[in-house]
Amino acid sequence: MYLMQHEQQREHGASFIECYMKEYRASKQEAYAEARRQIANAWKDINNDYLHATQIPTFVLELALNLSRLVDILQEDDFTDSQNFLKDTITLLFVDSVNSTPCG
């Protein structure tokens, strides 16, 4: 949600939210709900295709899946506000996980 709000404040081409609101005469809340619905459906498709793939080796699919995960995380932060979400995520993954792992 933060990314979508932040996107509206930047000077750039029309965003999904703006286009959806104009095309369907929808409110901002309806456009955000549709964006979240489409993102959720895309993740369902990605996960389903990964779990049922037979023609492509798993290690290739894992690379694509992990890249999708990374993009999802980075887009939440949008590279511009790293003092918030991204910083906390990196700390959780790499600092806190090492500090809480028992040795021995």
Give me the pLDDT at residue 47, please. 93
Which residue has better confidence, 16 or 91? 16
Residue type, 87: K
96: confidence class by pLDDT, cuts 50, 70, 90: confident
- Confidence (pLDDT) at 26: 97
Question: CA-CA distance, 61 to 70, in Å (whole number)?
Answer: 14
Helix (H, G, I), strand (E, B) or coil at 87: helix
Domain boundaries, the chain: 2-99
Whether residue 22 has pLDDT greater than 90: yes
Please give the C-alpha separations between residue 29 and each of 11, 13, 84, in angstroms, as whole numbers.
21, 20, 24
DSSP per-residue codes, 9-25: HSSSSPPHHHHHHHHHT
Query: What CA–CA distances, in Å, run from 102 to 88, 94, 96, 99?
Result: 22, 15, 12, 8
Above 90 in pLDDT, residue 95?
Answer: no
pLDDT average, residue stretch 34-63 = 92
Residue 63 predicted with pLDDT over 80: yes
Residue type present at position 51 = L
Q: How far is Cα 53 from Cα 60, in angstroms, rounded to an integer?
A: 11
Interval 87-100 mean pLDDT: 76
